[in-house]
Amino acid sequence: MPTTQDIKVAVDAVVFGYTSKEGLSVLLIKRNIDPFKDTWALPGGLVGNDESLEDAVQRELKEETGVSINYLEQLYSFGQPGRDPRNRVISITYYGLVKPDAFQIEAATDAAEVEWFNIKRIPQLAFDHEDIIAAAHDRLKNKILYQPIGFELLEERFPFSELEKLYMAVLDRSIDRRNFKKKVVKFGFLEETDEKQALAGAGRPGNLFCFNQQKYFQLQKEGINFEI
Protein backbone atom coordinates (compact mmCIF):
# COMPACT_ATOMS: atom_id res chain seq x y z
CA MET A 1 0.00 0.00 0.00
CA PRO A 2 1.49 3.41 -0.99
CA THR A 3 2.55 5.65 1.86
CA THR A 4 1.20 9.20 1.94
CA GLN A 5 3.75 11.67 3.21
CA ASP A 6 3.54 15.42 3.57
CA ILE A 7 5.97 16.22 6.36
CA LYS A 8 7.90 19.36 7.22
CA VAL A 9 11.14 19.41 9.22
CA ALA A 10 11.85 21.97 11.92
CA VAL A 11 14.55 22.59 14.52
CA ASP A 12 14.16 23.84 18.10
CA ALA A 13 16.85 24.93 20.56
CA VAL A 14 16.82 24.42 24.32
CA VAL A 15 19.42 26.88 25.58
CA PHE A 16 20.05 26.49 29.29
CA GLY A 17 21.72 29.36 31.12
CA TYR A 18 23.47 29.28 34.47
CA THR A 19 24.54 31.98 36.93
CA SER A 20 25.38 31.56 40.59
CA LYS A 21 22.67 34.05 41.54
CA GLU A 22 19.81 32.86 39.32
CA GLY A 23 20.62 29.15 39.03
CA LEU A 24 19.50 27.22 35.93
CA SER A 25 17.35 29.00 33.36
CA VAL A 26 15.96 28.49 29.85
CA LEU A 27 15.90 30.96 26.95
CA LEU A 28 12.38 31.47 25.56
CA ILE A 29 10.70 33.67 22.97
CA LYS A 30 7.16 35.06 22.90
CA ARG A 31 5.61 34.23 19.51
CA ASN A 32 4.20 37.12 17.48
CA ILE A 33 2.42 34.92 14.92
CA ASP A 34 -0.26 32.24 14.99
CA PRO A 35 -0.59 29.55 16.11
CA PHE A 36 0.02 30.25 19.79
CA LYS A 37 0.47 33.99 19.24
CA ASP A 38 1.61 35.75 22.45
CA THR A 39 2.62 32.40 23.99
CA TRP A 40 6.14 31.59 25.12
CA ALA A 41 8.06 28.97 23.14
CA LEU A 42 11.51 27.66 22.32
CA PRO A 43 13.42 29.45 19.56
CA GLY A 44 13.23 27.48 16.34
CA GLY A 45 11.57 27.09 12.96
CA LEU A 46 11.50 25.24 9.65
CA VAL A 47 14.65 23.99 7.94
CA GLY A 48 15.34 25.52 4.52
CA ASN A 49 15.74 23.29 1.45
CA ASP A 50 19.45 24.11 1.20
CA GLU A 51 20.26 24.11 4.93
CA SER A 52 21.80 21.53 7.18
CA LEU A 53 20.04 20.93 10.49
CA GLU A 54 22.94 22.54 12.34
CA ASP A 55 22.88 25.65 10.14
CA ALA A 56 19.11 25.94 10.55
CA VAL A 57 19.13 25.81 14.36
CA GLN A 58 21.98 28.32 14.53
CA ARG A 59 20.15 30.66 12.14
CA GLU A 60 16.82 30.45 13.99
CA LEU A 61 18.51 31.01 17.34
CA LYS A 62 20.40 34.04 16.05
CA GLU A 63 17.37 35.51 14.25
CA GLU A 64 14.91 35.12 17.11
CA THR A 65 17.12 35.79 20.15
CA GLY A 66 20.37 37.40 19.00
CA VAL A 67 22.30 34.52 20.58
CA SER A 68 25.05 32.73 18.68
CA ILE A 69 26.45 29.50 20.17
CA ASN A 70 29.33 27.58 18.64
CA TYR A 71 28.03 24.16 19.60
CA LEU A 72 24.60 22.72 20.35
CA GLU A 73 24.20 18.99 20.93
CA GLN A 74 21.43 17.12 19.14
CA LEU A 75 18.83 15.93 21.65
CA TYR A 76 15.92 14.02 20.14
CA SER A 77 13.31 14.02 17.36
CA PHE A 78 9.74 14.98 18.26
CA GLY A 79 7.19 13.93 15.65
CA GLN A 80 3.87 13.18 17.30
CA PRO A 81 1.01 13.83 14.82
CA GLY A 82 -0.86 16.97 15.82
CA ARG A 83 2.04 18.60 17.67
CA ASP A 84 1.69 21.52 15.25
CA PRO A 85 -1.89 22.47 14.27
CA ARG A 86 -0.80 23.78 10.85
CA ASN A 87 1.06 20.82 9.37
CA ARG A 88 2.67 17.49 10.17
CA VAL A 89 6.00 18.74 11.53
CA ILE A 90 8.93 16.75 12.88
CA SER A 91 11.24 18.78 15.11
CA ILE A 92 14.92 17.90 15.48
CA THR A 93 15.87 19.40 18.83
CA TYR A 94 19.18 20.63 20.20
CA TYR A 95 20.39 21.76 23.61
CA GLY A 96 23.31 23.57 25.20
CA LEU A 97 24.41 25.21 28.46
CA VAL A 98 25.80 28.77 28.47
CA LYS A 99 26.51 31.79 30.65
CA PRO A 100 23.62 34.24 30.01
CA ASP A 101 25.60 37.42 30.60
CA ALA A 102 27.89 36.45 27.71
CA PHE A 103 25.07 37.38 25.30
CA GLN A 104 22.96 40.39 24.46
CA ILE A 105 19.51 38.94 23.77
CA GLU A 106 17.25 40.65 21.23
CA ALA A 107 13.92 39.46 19.80
CA ALA A 108 13.36 39.52 16.04
CA THR A 109 11.52 37.77 13.14
CA ASP A 110 8.81 35.53 14.69
CA ALA A 111 9.64 36.61 18.26
CA ALA A 112 7.97 39.55 20.00
CA GLU A 113 10.05 39.14 23.18
CA VAL A 114 12.95 37.03 24.41
CA GLU A 115 13.71 36.28 28.04
CA TRP A 116 15.52 33.92 30.40
CA PHE A 117 13.20 31.94 32.71
CA ASN A 118 14.27 30.01 35.79
CA ILE A 119 13.82 26.28 35.17
CA LYS A 120 11.37 26.13 38.10
CA ARG A 121 9.24 29.02 36.80
CA ILE A 122 8.60 28.12 33.18
CA PRO A 123 5.39 29.73 31.80
CA GLN A 124 2.80 27.89 29.72
CA LEU A 125 4.44 26.97 26.43
CA ALA A 126 3.38 26.53 22.81
CA PHE A 127 3.31 23.18 20.97
CA ASP A 128 5.02 20.35 22.92
CA HIS A 129 7.88 22.54 24.09
CA GLU A 130 7.32 21.68 27.75
CA ASP A 131 8.08 18.05 26.89
CA ILE A 132 11.15 19.08 24.90
CA ILE A 133 12.55 21.10 27.81
CA ALA A 134 11.92 18.21 30.21
CA ALA A 135 13.77 15.81 27.90
CA ALA A 136 16.67 18.25 27.53
CA HIS A 137 16.90 18.76 31.29
CA ASP A 138 16.96 14.98 31.86
CA ARG A 139 19.71 14.62 29.25
CA LEU A 140 21.75 17.40 30.85
CA LYS A 141 21.38 15.87 34.33
CA ASN A 142 22.56 12.51 33.03
CA LYS A 143 25.41 14.01 31.04
CA ILE A 144 27.07 15.86 33.92
CA LEU A 145 27.44 12.59 35.81
CA TYR A 146 29.98 11.37 33.27
CA GLN A 147 31.33 14.61 31.78
CA PRO A 148 32.63 17.61 33.78
CA ILE A 149 30.98 21.01 33.32
CA GLY A 150 31.76 24.50 34.56
CA PHE A 151 34.70 25.73 32.52
CA GLU A 152 32.69 28.32 30.56
CA LEU A 153 30.15 28.95 33.34
CA LEU A 154 32.32 29.89 36.32
CA GLU A 155 34.88 32.65 36.80
CA GLU A 156 38.53 31.91 36.10
CA ARG A 157 39.08 31.51 39.85
CA PHE A 158 36.21 30.53 42.13
CA PRO A 159 35.44 29.03 45.54
CA PHE A 160 34.70 25.32 45.46
CA SER A 161 31.20 26.07 46.71
CA GLU A 162 30.40 27.66 43.33
CA LEU A 163 31.06 24.36 41.54
CA GLU A 164 28.85 22.60 44.10
CA LYS A 165 26.06 25.12 43.48
CA LEU A 166 26.33 24.61 39.72
CA TYR A 167 25.93 20.84 40.02
CA MET A 168 23.06 21.11 42.49
CA ALA A 169 21.27 23.61 40.22
CA VAL A 170 21.54 21.33 37.18
CA LEU A 171 20.72 18.13 39.10
CA ASP A 172 17.95 19.91 41.03
CA ARG A 173 18.90 18.12 44.24
CA SER A 174 21.40 18.27 47.08
CA ILE A 175 24.70 16.40 46.87
CA ASP A 176 27.09 14.86 49.38
CA ARG A 177 29.50 17.80 49.43
CA ARG A 178 32.42 16.00 51.06
CA ASN A 179 32.18 13.05 48.68
CA PHE A 180 31.73 15.37 45.69
CA LYS A 181 34.88 17.33 46.50
CA LYS A 182 36.88 14.15 47.04
CA LYS A 183 35.85 12.78 43.63
CA VAL A 184 36.48 16.04 41.77
CA VAL A 185 39.93 16.51 43.29
CA LYS A 186 40.81 12.88 42.48
CA PHE A 187 40.07 13.37 38.77
CA GLY A 188 42.56 16.22 38.62
CA PHE A 189 40.72 18.73 36.45
CA LEU A 190 40.53 21.22 39.33
CA GLU A 191 43.51 22.92 40.95
CA GLU A 192 43.64 24.79 44.24
CA THR A 193 45.34 28.20 44.06
CA ASP A 194 46.99 30.33 46.77
CA GLU A 195 44.45 33.09 46.16
CA LYS A 196 41.90 33.54 48.94
CA GLN A 197 38.16 34.02 48.66
CA ALA A 198 36.96 37.52 49.50
CA LEU A 199 34.43 37.37 52.33
CA ALA A 200 31.97 40.12 53.17
CA GLY A 201 31.59 39.14 56.82
CA ALA A 202 33.48 37.24 59.47
CA GLY A 203 34.99 33.87 58.81
CA ARG A 204 38.14 32.30 57.52
CA PRO A 205 38.48 32.71 53.73
CA GLY A 206 39.10 29.55 51.76
CA ASN A 207 41.37 29.15 48.76
CA LEU A 208 40.05 29.67 45.24
CA PHE A 209 40.17 26.98 42.55
CA CYS A 210 40.72 26.99 38.81
CA PHE A 211 40.33 24.45 36.02
CA ASN A 212 43.29 22.57 34.59
CA GLN A 213 42.27 23.17 30.98
CA GLN A 214 44.23 20.29 29.46
CA LYS A 215 42.93 17.74 31.97
CA TYR A 216 39.41 19.20 31.86
CA PHE A 217 39.01 18.87 28.10
CA GLN A 218 40.70 15.46 28.10
CA LEU A 219 38.17 14.13 30.62
CA GLN A 220 35.31 15.87 28.84
CA LYS A 221 36.30 13.98 25.69
CA GLU A 222 36.98 10.62 27.35
CA GLY A 223 34.13 10.67 29.84
CA ILE A 224 34.23 9.87 33.55
CA ASN A 225 31.81 8.55 36.15
CA PHE A 226 31.07 10.88 39.06
CA GLU A 227 28.47 8.72 40.83
CA ILE A 228 27.33 11.83 42.67
**CATH (domain of 122):** 3.90.79.10
Per-residue pLDDT at 83 exceeds 90: yes
Q: What is the pTM of this model?
A: 0.93
The pLDDT tens digits of the residues spanning 86-145 come to 999 999 999 999 999 999 999 988 899 999 999 999 999 999 999 999 999 999 999 999
Identify the active-site residue in 106, 113, 155, 191.
Answer: 113
Residue 113 annotated among the catalytic residues of the structure: yes
Q: Distance between CA atoms of 163 and 191, rounded to whole angstroms?
A: 13
Q: Is residue 124 within 8 Å of residue 163, measured between CB atoms?
A: no
Q: Are residues 171 and 95 in the same domain?
A: no
Q: Are residues 98 and 184 in the same domain?
A: no
Confidence at residue 227, expressed as pLDDT on a 0 to 100 scale: 77
Q: What is the CATH number of the domain that holds 186?
A: 1.10.10.10
> 144 lies in a domain?
no
The pLDDT tens digits of the residues spanning 40-68 come to 999 999 999 999 999 999 999 999 999 99
Per-chain mean pLDDT for the chain: 93
Q: Are residues 193 and 109 in the same domain?
A: no
> 206 lies in a domain?
yes
Burial 114-139 (b: 16+ CB within 10 A, else e): bebbebeebeebbbbbeebbebbbeb
Q: Total domain count for the chain?
A: 2
Q: Are residues 169 and 103 in the same domain?
A: no
Q: Distance between CA atoms of 89 and 71, rounded to whole angstroms?
A: 24
The more confidently predicted of residues 83 and 71 is: 83
Of 69, 68, 66, which is closest to residue 107 (Cα–Cα)? Answer: 66
Q: Are residues 101 and 184 in the same domain?
A: no
The pLDDT tens digits of the residues spanning 17-31 come to 999 999 999 999 999
Q: Are residues 97 and 205 in the same domain?
A: no
Q: Are residues 96 and 182 in the same domain?
A: no
DSSP at 151: T
Q: Are residues 11 and 122 in the same domain?
A: yes
> 78 lies in a domain?
yes
Of 137, 167, 146, which is closest to residue 75 (Cα–Cα)? Answer: 137
Confidence at residue 71, expressed as pLDDT on a 0 to 100 scale: 86
Rounded percentage of the chain residues whose pLDDT exceeds 90: 83
> 134 lies in a domain?
no
For residue 88, the cross-strand partners are 7
Q: Are residues 99 and 22 in the same domain?
A: yes
Q: Are residues 99 and 169 in the same domain?
A: no
Of 179, 193, 188, which is closest to residue 222 (Cα–Cα)? Answer: 188
Question: In which band, very low, low, confident or very high, does the pLDDT at 202 lie, cut at 50, 70 and 90?
Answer: low
Of 147, 128, 148, 114, which is closest to residue 26 (Cα–Cα)? Answer: 114
Burial 145-182 (b: 16+ CB within 10 A, else e): eeebbbeebbeeebbbebbbbbbbbbbeeeeeeeebbe
Q: Are residues 92 and 181 in the same domain?
A: no
Q: Are residues 67 and 17 in the same domain?
A: yes
Instruction: Kindly state the average pLDDT of the residues 182-187.
Output: 90
User: In which domain, by residue range, is 167 found?
Assistant: 160-222
